[in-house]
Structures are given as structure tokens and as C-alpha cells.
Amino acid sequence: MEHSLVVQRARKSFQTGRTKPLEFRIHQLKSLLRFISDRRRDIAEAVKKDLGKSEHGTELFETLGLEGDIKLAVEKLAEWAAPRPVEKNLLTISDEVYVQPEPLGVVLIIGAWNYPWAVTLQPLVGAIAAGNAAIIKPSEVSSHSAKVMEELLPQYLDKDLYPVVTGGVPETQELLRQRFDHIFYTGNSTVGKLVMEAAARHLTPVTLELGGKSPCYIDKDCDITIACRRITWGKFVNCGQTCIAPDYILCEPSIQSRVVEEINKNVKEFYTDNPKTFEDYGRIINQRHFKRVMALMEGSTVAVGGDSDESQCYIAPTVLKDVTRESRVMKEEIFGPLLPIITVSGVDEAIQFINEREKPLVVYVFSHDNKLIKRVIAETSSGALLANDCLVHFTVSALPFGGVGNSGMGCYHGRHSFNQLSHLRSCLIKQLKMEGVNSMRYPPHTAKKLGWARFFLLKQVDVSRLRRMALLTMFAGLAAFVVQVKELNIPFQSKLGLKGFVLISVMLCILQVCSILESS
């Protein structure tokens, strides 16, 4: 089917309102969860063919987080989709004022090849939860995963609302000529610019999950053994083809040899003396990327690894030293198992080095010194900052995941996915009464009216605080009333007296105020 017809069919289905009820969205999310559970082996086999990843590695890095995201969305959807009350001013204190999340419409999701299931279906979770239709375009580079997705996903999800479209560059270009209500792209910044350019023709908003060169600064006084163990894991998982992998190390010359020694030791522990034969060490996605990564080593000294086999797209975990700012490996995101080390005089030079380059997806810093860590946070900018570990911030659904500047725009995960793919609609419902209060805004405008307007409009009101104060006052009044009745020592039913009558009147007024605040 032509891409324009696929998009038209999705839009027509969306316009029927089928995605609006939360029950429908939850049903689709549960169906997606069932797909992952039923087809776990098919997914693992496809990823093995694409990236050489083991079955357990696929579950750990592809489907486990996806399952968690779906379960969270099912559990929290009613809360996320509910109206969100906001603070009022005195002019709107008796009005309903809230934010109502609503679906955007038809979303295009363009996935990436390095984690072909996680980075394609996690945005889909947000799109479904927010009540959108979604066209799913998996990367053609991870061809086996794309084929499985195309063949099996429609057996579980609504075929009209969530179609899978496969193909290469021409097919993607044709899709980008269509009008969407949001485009969610994961990949490199070069293609990201083309996606944004295509989206601009329709004024379509975009989420761009890109990458960049994420630096990793090692403080000379930290526990270098533990730091290097965590860096080794974060760098070489998925054969270095991770957008948030540490791209290069910054450290002082005095600890460079120790860093090399520790990483070498960890590579052997994690992947044996021969990573080529080890099940949990993957492969470069294809020969084009193999040649690109191998060319990046030019002009640098191999300190660890360096072995390769083009026929298998295998490159060993490799550490490079004698790397300069002008080295070829520092000119682009590596996206492979090469880890260059650049020496700096200390944290001052490290911060300067980071700030002279494009804003990365993440900054890593390893140090015992909390002040040093906070300084790096304060004096650099990146999509995220992670201290004393690698990658694990990706697993925290409450943290927004995304870049800044050249590393991307927009964010997702958990509630952030829902918000990103929703329109947060401002709503105010006023009653057709109390017109006297509104007269200050009508002509003629006078100094007196301006004074009242300044008071009513600039005074923010925390309704929840007022409600708590009213309830507290009510209970205080009730306590005083009980004490008064006890002191009067007369039957409650017969003679309350004037003071009792006043107290009851005050209580009734307070209850009325509480009722008004509750309804607002």
C-alpha cells in the first residue's frame, strides 16, 4: 500500500475517536506487552542476526525496559490523562482552571538500528498511552528485526491505527512528505536535520533523539578500579553501538597507564581473552560501519585490543592512547568499540574541553568529591549527567531521556513520553454570574480599575492551601463550640444561646467556603 494511503487510513481511524477512551489504550498496551511475551524468541533471533547479540543480552537491553514502560503506562494512565488543576488568581478563584492532556493525532516513529526494539517501541508506548495513531518505521539497517516487526506486530495491535512500514531511504523520504501531527526520530544528527526540515513544511513538531560524543572525566583521586569497571561495561556493551556510551575519557596523565591497565583487565574478565568467540560480545551492524569505525583509529596508538575481522564485522574492545584534539577519532561520534583517552591537567581543562564542543547526550564524571561533581553539573550542559556509573539513568522512568542542542530535542520515558506526545490544553470554565467583579476589565479604563485589576490579577491563589486553612478553621470552630456548650452546661437540643448560634453560623459559612473551593 502507498505510504500516503497508510497515513490517510490511520488518520481516518483516529478521527473516529476510537483512541480516546482509556480502556481502548490500555487494551492496546496490554496487547503490545503480550506481543513481547509471546514473541520473545523471534525477537531474540532477529537481534542475533542483526547485531550478534545473545538471547539474554536482548532481554536485558531491549525488552526488559520496554515491559517496564508498558506496565507503568497501564498502571498510571488514568492519573496521567486526568485534568491537572493549576494555581488561580483572585479573578478566577471560583472558576474551573486546569490543563487537559489530549491526543495530538497521527505520529510518525522512525526507529534506530542499534537497539531496534527498545528505541522503536518505547516511543510507541507513549503514543498509544496519549491516544494517538502511530506509523511505525523500523530501521532498514537492522533488517531482520524490521521484518519480524512488520510481520508479527500487526497480529497484536490495531492494524489501521498502528501500521508498520518498512523500506530504506526512498520509503522514509516518501513518508516524510506526508503530514503528521508529530515526528519522533531516533538516529544521527545529519538525518535529524533532514527530518526537521521535512517536518517544517507542515509545521509538524519533532522529537529528535540523537547522539554525540559523550565525555567521561575520571578524577585522579577516585576509586579507579571501580570507575574503570563501570566504564568498560558502559562502553563495550552492544559492541559500543549505544548512543549514551562514553565516547572518550578525560583524565590526568598521571593515571592514564592505570586506566589502560584496569580497562584491559575488565575486558578480559567480561569478554574472556578472546572476545571474538564470546557469546555476549556482539558485532558491528554491517561492513559499511565496520570500515568507518576502523578508519577512526588512524593516527592513534592502540593500547588495548585492536583486533578485527571484516568478514564477521568484528572489532575487539579497543583503547586508544596518544589521542589529540585533532585526531580523526575525535571528529565524529564513534558508535563502536573504540575508547580514546585524552589527557588534561585537571577538572578545569576537562570542563573547558567539554564546553568547546557540541552539547553531548550525557556527561559522565567519576569522583568521590561531591563538590567537583556539582561543579561539573553547574558549568557544563548536556542531555543528562551521570556520576560514578554509566548508562543506568536510562532505566529510571521518572527521568526525562533526551538531548540538548546537537544531541537532540524533546524527551521521553514514562510520564515524559505521555506528555511529549500529548497536547496539554489550557482550560478555564467560568460561570455567567458575578459580573460586578469583571467590570474592571471593561472600558472605560480608569486608574481605579487598574488598581483593582492589579490586585485581582497579580495575586496568585493556592487553592489547596486555602482549602487546608478552611478545614483547619472549621475544626477549631467545632472545638470551640464543644467547649462552649460544655461550659454552658445546658441541653444541646433546647438552649444553645446566642454564642452557640453564632458558632454554628460560622461553621456553616466555613462549610460553604470549603464546598466552593472543592468544586473549583
What cell does 52 get? 550478534
Domain region containing 493: 462-519
| 8 A C-beta contact, residue 410 and residue 420 | yes
How far apart are alpha carbons 67 and 489 in whole angstroms?
66
- Judgement on whether residues 288 and 347 belong to the same structural domain of the protein: yes
Confirm whether 442 is domain-assigned.
no
Assess whether 209 carries a catalytic annotation: yes
Tell me how far CA of residue 330 lies from CA of 243, 384, 435, in angstroms. 16, 21, 67
Confirm whether 29 is domain-assigned.
yes
List of residues 6+ apart from 385 with CB closer than 8 A: 362, 363, 364, 365, 376, 377
What pLDDT score does 495 carry?
46
- Judgement on whether residues 359 and 418 belong to the same structural domain of the protein: no
pLDDT at 185 over 60: yes
- Judgement on whether residues 47 and 117 belong to the same structural domain of the protein: yes
pLDDT at 141 over 60: yes
- Judgement on whether residues 223 and 183 belong to the same structural domain of the protein: no
What cell does 232 get? 568498560
- Judgement on whether residues 45 and 190 belong to the same structural domain of the protein: yes
Q: What is the mean pLDDT of the chain?
A: 91
pLDDT band with cut points at 50, 70 and 90 for residue 195:
very high
- Judgement on whether residues 252 and 375 belong to the same structural domain of the protein: yes
pLDDT at 514 over 60: no
Pick from 55, 336, 323, 11: which is nearest to 162 by CA? 11
Confirm whether 451 is domain-assigned.
no
Torsions phi, psi for 360 (to 5 deg): -85, 170
Residue 465, number of CB atoms within 10 A of its CB: 10
Average pLDDT of the residues in 495-505: 55
Average pLDDT of the residues in 473-493: 62
User: What pTM was estimated for this model as a whole?
Assistant: 0.88
Classify the phi-psi angles of 45: left when phi > 0, otherwise alpha if psi is within -120 to 50, otherwise beta: alpha
- Judgement on whether residues 376 and 467 belong to the same structural domain of the protein: no
Beta pairing, strands 215-218 & 301-304 = unpaired
List of residues 6+ apart from 106 with CB closer than 8 A: 7, 10, 11, 14, 132, 133, 134, 135, 180, 181
pLDDT band with cut points at 50, 70 and 90 for residue 2:
confident
pLDDT at 485 over 80: no
| 8 A C-beta contact, residue 413 and residue 95 | no
Confirm whether 310 is domain-assigned.
yes
pLDDT at 493 over 50: no
Listed in order, strand segments (DSSP E) in 50-205 are: 84-85, 88-89, 96-103, 106-110, 133-137, 182-186
List of residues 6+ apart from 14 with CB closer than 8 A: 103, 105, 106, 132, 133, 161
Rg (CA), the chain: 30
b (16+ CB within 10 A) / e for 192-201: beebbebbee
How far apart are alpha carbons 470 and 513 in whole angstroms?
7
Assess whether 243 carries a catalytic annotation: yes
Number of domains in the chain: 3
pLDDT at 400 over 80: yes
Cis peptide before 444, with omega less than 30 degrees from 0?
A: yes
What cell does 227 get? 570507575
- Judgement on whether residues 219 and 203 belong to the same structural domain of the protein: no
What cell does 85 get? 488543576
How far apart are alpha carbons 498 and 72 in whole angstroms?
58
What pLDDT score does 469 carry?
67
Confirm whether 453 is domain-assigned.
no
List of residues 6+ apart from 69 with CB closer than 8 A: 122, 125, 397, 413, 414, 417
- Judgement on whether residues 420 and 475 belong to the same structural domain of the protein: no
How far apart are alpha carbons 361 and 261 in whole angstroms?
28
Q: Which of 216, 239, 243, 411 is catalytic?
A: 243
- Judgement on whether residues 203 and 129 belong to the same structural domain of the protein: yes
Pick from 30, 480, 113: which is nearest to 283 by CA? 113
Assign residue 255 the CATH number of its domain. 3.40.309.10
List of residues 6+ apart from 440 with CB closer than 8 A: 449, 452, 453, 456
Confirm whether 402 is domain-assigned.
no
- Judgement on whether residues 92 and 224 belong to the same structural domain of the protein: no
pLDDT band with cut points at 50, 70 and 90 for residue 487:
low
Q: Which of 62, 209, 252, 333 is catalytic?
A: 209
User: How far apart, in Å, do the first and last CA atoms of the chain sit?
Assistant: 50
pLDDT band with cut points at 50, 70 and 90 for residue 488:
low
- Judgement on whether residues 28 and 103 belong to the same structural domain of the protein: yes
- Residues of the chain above pLDDT 90, percent: 81
Residue-wise pLDDT for 26-41, tens only, equals 999 999 999 999 999 9
Residue-wise pLDDT for 17-72, tens only, equals 999 999 999 999 999 999 999 999 999 999 999 999 999 999 999 999 999 999 99
b (16+ CB within 10 A) / e for 89-114: eebbbbbebbeebebbbbbbbbbbbb
Confirm whether 156 is domain-assigned.
yes
HEC letters along 293-348: HHHCCCCCEEEECCCEEHHHCEECCEEEECCCCCCHHHCCCCCCCEEEEEECCCHH
Pick from 209, 40, 14: which is nearest to 128 by CA? 14
Residue-wise pLDDT for 439-465, tens only, equals 777 788 777 767 766 776 676 666 566
How far apart are alpha carbons 76 and 445 in whole angstroms?
48
Confirm whether 435 is domain-assigned.
no
How far apart are alpha carbons 333 and 324 in whole angstroms?
15
Residue-wise pLDDT for 305-364, tens only, equals 999 999 999 999 999 998 999 999 999 999 999 999 999 999 999 999 999 999 999 999
| 8 A C-beta contact, residue 365 and residue 217 | yes
Assign residue 204 the CATH number of its domain. 3.40.605.10
